[in-house]
Amino acid sequence: MSTRLKKLSSSLKKNNLDGIIVSHLPDIHYLSGFSGSAGTLFVTRKNAYLLTDGRYETQAAAQVNDGVEVLIDRAHYTRLKDEKLVRKGMTLGFQSQYVSVAQYEGMKRIFKKKVKLEAGGRLISELTAVKTEEEVGYIKRAANMAARVFRDVLEIVKPGMRENELAAEISWLGRSHGSEGDAFGIIVASGQRSALPHGRASTKKLKSGELITLDFGCIYKGFNSDMTRTFALGEPGDEARKIYDIVYKAERVGVEQARAGMSAKELDAVCRDIIEDAGYGEAFSHSTGHGLGIEVHEFPGISHRSPDEVKLREGMVVTIEPGIYLPGKFGVRIEDDVLIENGGCRELTSASRKLMVV
């Protein structure tokens, strides 16, 4: 068994589970090595089985890690029962946050009352949240690609270009620097659209004097980076500079303060307090950040709504991304990725975060 599977097995034991049914594809990839688009992974305290269909027979055999047995069958739960891998009296975890109602009803129908099903998704999200040195290296590499893309963008961006043309350039540049793809739908939000926290690139043309917010990420070995920069196309004016300074200060204080042992809620408050004290609390309408790794949004959320018991742990990679959005005017956000360490954090994003005027 791989180290990742061994860690999951020992947490099954701690949580009195005999096994766990993994349905979420990024988690299946992380745990088994299989990257296909259909599958179920069943992990017990000693073994792991990947169920997938005939389309993936060759790929699954080539990709799975040592100790994962591949079963080719379209009827995943029935096969688990028929092979007696799922047996009477077992207590099994499942990923309640990802399983559809139809899948859940299928599990109940096929396993009948013989098996007890418990929500166990937390076991996997806590496992993927803490990165190994090697995994941090992958995210760092993806973050470096994004930083290079940003430098390139500043060279080519000009008034008259459409937001979606710039998004296409970002995607192309990312891949040309080695990215496996876009980490998520690229955000290019210019002028008044920059007041939309999630303004996907549109057909709007960029104009001189506007602020432009870019939010995008690269992927290396399945691990994502996530970076936001707001820059100005020509002199943006005093109000924009003032708002930029507040967001910059909030982001920098967040990076200075982030460390293992602090709660996610405390880190959110460190950034939020700066923005509230400046009088823009209402204009910071989202949480401060999120875990980052095999998915762009992972456990833990860095939010004012995070439960007190969610603490930052050494080895977690999180984003810090405060913003201020003034509808009808403009918005500013700065986002960096950091590795949580004891006593502090290490920045993984290398792009300049001063206000760039191009």
> What is the binding site for Mn ion (CB under 5 A)?
226, 319
Residue 44: CB minimum distance to Mn ion, A: 35
Residue nearest Mn ion by beta-carbon distance? 226
When the beta carbons of 319 and 349 are compared against Mn ion, the nearer one is 319
Residue 185: CB minimum distance to Mn ion, A: 12
When the beta carbons of 93 and 289 are compared against Mn ion, the nearer one is 289
When the beta carbons of 210 and 226 are compared against Mn ion, the nearer one is 226
Residue 333: CB minimum distance to Mn ion, A: 9
Inter-residue contact 32 to 44 (CB < 8 Å): no
- C-alpha 220/C-alpha 293 separation (Å) is 10
Q: Which two tokens stand for residue 83?
A: 């092979």
When the beta carbons of 68 and 334 are compared against Mn ion, the nearer one is 334
- C-alpha 157/C-alpha 229 separation (Å) is 14
Angle between helices 3-14 and 25-32 (to 10 degrees): 110
When the beta carbons of 171 and 319 are compared against Mn ion, the nearer one is 319
When the beta carbons of 27 and 226 are compared against Mn ion, the nearer one is 226
When the beta carbons of 110 and 183 are compared against Mn ion, the nearer one is 183
Residue 7: CB minimum distance to Mn ion, A: 26
Residue 347: CB minimum distance to Mn ion, A: 15
- C-alpha 298/C-alpha 318 separation (Å) is 9
Residue 224: CB minimum distance to Mn ion, A: 9
Residue 191: CB minimum distance to Mn ion, A: 22
When the beta carbons of 23 and 213 are compared against Mn ion, the nearer one is 213
Residue 290: CB minimum distance to Mn ion, A: 6
For residue 158, give Cα distances in angstroms to 165, 208, 234, 338.
11, 8, 10, 31
